[in-house]
Structure 1
Amino acid sequence: MNDSVKESELMIKANHAHRAAQSLASKSTKQKNDALHTIANQLRAQSELLLTANQSDMKRAKQKGMVESLLDRLMLNEERIDAMAGALEHLADLPDPIGDELEQWSRPNGLQIRKIRVPIGVIGMVYEARPNVTVDAVGLCLKTGNAVYLRGSESALESNRAIVSVIHQALNATELPTECVQLLEDTSHETANQFFKLNGLIDVLIPRGSSRLIQTVIKQASIPVLETGAGNCHVFIDETAKPEMAISIVLNAKTQRPSVCNAIETVIVHEKWFKNFGSELIDALQSAKVDCHIDAKIANQFPNLHVATEQDWATEYLDKIIAIKIVSNVKEAINHINKYGTKHSESIISENVENVQMFYQFVDASTLYHNASTRFTDGEEFGFGAEIGISTQKLHARGPMGLNALTSIKYLVEGNGQIRK
């Protein structure tokens, strides 16, 4: 594909999305909800088409040696397609935030000021593998009156093409503009770099994927970026933790789905707890086929295991590998998390109220847990219906980003002839 054709696809679709956003912003809640239900029905009806396209992506990914954890993200099956459709139906049942009045007040000069939620405009979505993200992004954007311009990865191109084709078929039967959903099919790095600089056509970029992808978007984009973060997440087992609960939570947080960003990569263990129950923890992890990289402090007790290095503490494995850190108190655990964590999801297992409050106060992350798995950091689990990503930054939105995160604000000021003196 020559440069002029690349630019043509990039710019034509960007302009389509920009125009559609203006029309979409005026659509009623009923019109948007009807469209979500129509898309959900069409996804289920066209599941065979989606699975055939996905099988093509899976075959190519396996030939290229894609690791199992990423193959899991890429794979579609009937259950996942039904879940994607169900997420759209759940979104349709949720309140529409657009037009919500957030505040109102009067000024001494008689001006009446209201602050309301409005759509952002065009959301640029940059993501890897995971074709379910295509549906989640479309659902969340349509519900909030935003157009969406999707730039997926080459590995999921056939799946994304099929999904967007089905979505367009569905939108043709609704009152929403079909052009409000666009897919950039040119997955070259050169065109991606141009995509990141479409100021005036795309209002915000949301990258979702590896740390490398996110950092590339942040560094190259001239459009504002709503940053989602990699997940170097931890569970801290305090001295007072109930052993059965602690082991169960660690196993769930590591093995329930190792390839996702809210799975843990390190378990931090109080030295007194480890002395009593550490062997049980490691036995349970090994029984679950988890490769344990252990702190040098306990290496002599487990000579057959890898000794953790500095790199292990900072690594997001996205696989059945875990680092085990030994600490002497909650402060040491907090310091370790704040040094190596990615401000995503962190959990403390403890019966000590003071330690829990210290953990809550001083750990810097979007989502903190007490006696629960980090796997719950998810839009659906939080009751948001779906998520566009999990923000680890501190401006505009933080944590799982649902409908409200895809809105901006507008001030409406009513007067009766006031002029400023």
Structure 2
Amino acid sequence: MSEERRSRRPLGERDEEERRLPFGARPRPPRPPLTTNAEVREGPDPTAPYPPPPAPEPLADEFTPQDEPSDAPAAIRARDSRHRVAAGDSILKRPRPELSFESFKEDAAPSDGNAEAGAATAVRPVVMIRFGVLARSLGVMFLTAAVVATLFTWWTPSTFMSTDSLDQLSVALATQARQAAAPPAATTPTAPDEAEVAVPATELPPELNNIGIVSGHRGVHPVSGLPDPGATCPDGLTEAEINEAVAQRVVELLRGHGYQVDLLDEFDPRLDNYRALAMVSIHADTCDYINDYATGFKVASFADSQNPEGDRQLVSCLVEQYAGTTGLSFHPSVTYDMTQYHTFREIAPGTPGAIIEIGFMYLDREMLTDHPDVVALGIARGILCYLRGEAPGAENAPTATPLP
């Protein structure tokens, strides 16, 4: 025991060889190799699989293809020696030629120079237009549009626009058609220098001597082509009958004073750019009972007139003379249809015009049907008052209250 202690070195003491080395140069003990191969660490695996069995030898009667039989002519053997055909090189073992189908070429790997182009071609999607799907989509769209249009037609009531609105629309279309068909007015070019170029004198229009009397609702409607009777009473009395009876008498009275008078229809073609000393349209009011105050007459002129002073004088004369002749009072309920009467837009600008509602067909029926001469005389007196310059002052003219 004491000898073993003498032979054992103290902890940390170096032996003679290590003492000869410089300080700190003591070699470290080698580390075990880092490997995960079990065979290297632990030796060969005793449970390794056996090597594969050798290929079976061909049977005695099995045919083995040969490139050249043993009894081949000498020319073929000379050819093989001349071309130095290798021993393992056989025409039966030549590599398979590259297929020429396009589908197999797409799978082939691209060359080094066209690697990027080949990769882009391989991942590029193929865009195909399916005409069947497109045709079905268009068919569905047209079918949907037809169904919506049919439903809208069924839903829209027949009275989508009122009768008055349709009449006003037809009148506006007729007026626009007449204005488009009218020949353009001739213009006289102006001279740049009156001292050098003589300007011919402009011919003045001939002196007018005609008067236009429009019989309201007389003739046929320009859109429907049917007569327009206007207001109608339960017993069949129409506004057109009353208006025509009064208008004919007015024409006779004015012709008796030496004037040329034109009896015009509601939509008379002669009204297009009609020029006259005056134009008066005769109408009658509704035959329905409104109230006990729905009696009297109305007179109005064009709200957008280019001759407002002449229109005002004509209206003042009609109101004064008609009230004094018939005994009817002026009713202030002038409507928008009166101030925007379609004939005002058809006649020539500057021609004085007025529309008169001679009375209500319900409460004033006796005057309108039994005394048309008196009604006509009141209108004729009003026109003559204007032509003679006997219009009353503005302070004496009645005030009309336009209604919507």
The TM-score normalised by the length of structure 2 is 0.18
Higher helix proportion, which one? 1
